[in-house]
Chains A and B, each alone.
Chain A
């Protein structure tokens, strides 16, 4: 069992990395791109007998407390078999 966590900068927060990647894409000819947001991906491996609901609750807390900073970031958590 795995947890997949995607962390992205909040829309209101300046994202110079996303902006720079967007500019580079425009230089390469990808002119239809209207915005780029660069975040991070975390994959966590869990023991196969883990209860998915409990894993979700525990990792949701970990995402809020540690893996993301809620002042500047949003996260999406997914538990997959």
Chain B
């Protein structure tokens, strides 16, 4: 079995970096921290931008992290087709950097929401969802105060028609309802991908749901999708 190397970016006040590294290692792959001042990612197969409160969330969530040296390397990696997953604060950073469309604003309720939610996978046509069985809901925790996804009407239409919406908040039976929406996100959006499909952001935390002792293993399917994508690319290149 091929072992793939993940880079987990560390900003001052990242706090889900260790969870992300742990989750990747639990899945049998390699994960290393990359500090925000680094100008290079080294030789890695995929990048995770973890959750937290980078730079204290000063100015806006993710606004300052986007200008850090490592983000220039992440941008180049993505432009070359590399897989980049932003989780929670990582999603906010990718939006601020313009690598994903839209923005994440204060939750509709003004409350910090910390609970398990259900996600419906909207499309399996992405490196982040390909290995999630058809119709399978994901039970994954959210923990954020600013996760309300906003984009203007033309952007939302484009996201929908390009199949860039990867996950939506739903109830336990898979219905996409307003009461299942923890933050007021437009169209119940929980995660999206870029037009080229190799960059994704999601507010829920799959890295906190990779072991049964944590109450759910559903998060594995997100990382396994990435790993299966990398494996296919490697065997494809070797063939």
Residue ranges of A at the interface with B (Cβ–Cβ < 8 Å): 9, 12-14, 16-17, 20, 66-67, 69, 71-72
Contact = CB atoms under 8 A, between A and B. Distances in A.
A16 B184 CA distance: 10
Given A14-B184, A16-B107, A16-B108, A71 B148 contact: no
A53 B108 CA distance: 40
From DSSP, what is the main secondary structure of chain B's interface residues?
loop
Contacts, number: 34
Interface residues of B, number: 18
A13 B108 CA distance: 11
Contacts of A69: 60, 63, 96, 103
Contact of B105 (A13, A20, A66, A67): A13
19 contacts: A9-B105, A12-B152, A14-B108, A14-B148, A14-B184, A16-B106, A16-B108, A16-B110, A16-B184, A20-B110, A66-B63, A67-B59, A69-B60, A69-B63, A69-B96, A71-B103, A71-B151, A71-B152, A72-B150
Nearest to B59: A67
A28 to B, nearest CB: 18
Interface of B: 59-60, 63, 67, 96, 102-103, 105-110, 148, 150-152, 184
A67 B60 CA distance: 9
Contacts of A72: 103, 105, 150
Contact of A71 (B102, B109, B184): B102
A66 B148 contact: no
A66 B105 CA distance: 16
Given A69-B63, A69-B96, A69-B103, A13 B110 contact: no
Given A14-B105, A66-B63, A71 B150 contact: yes
B170 to A, nearest CB: 21
A35 B150 CA distance: 21
A20 B109 CA distance: 9
A60 B144 CA distance: 31
Given A14-B108, A71-B152, 11 more contacts: A9-B105, A14-B148, A17-B106, A20-B110, A66-B59, A69-B63, A69-B96, A69-B103, A72-B103, A72-B105, A72-B150
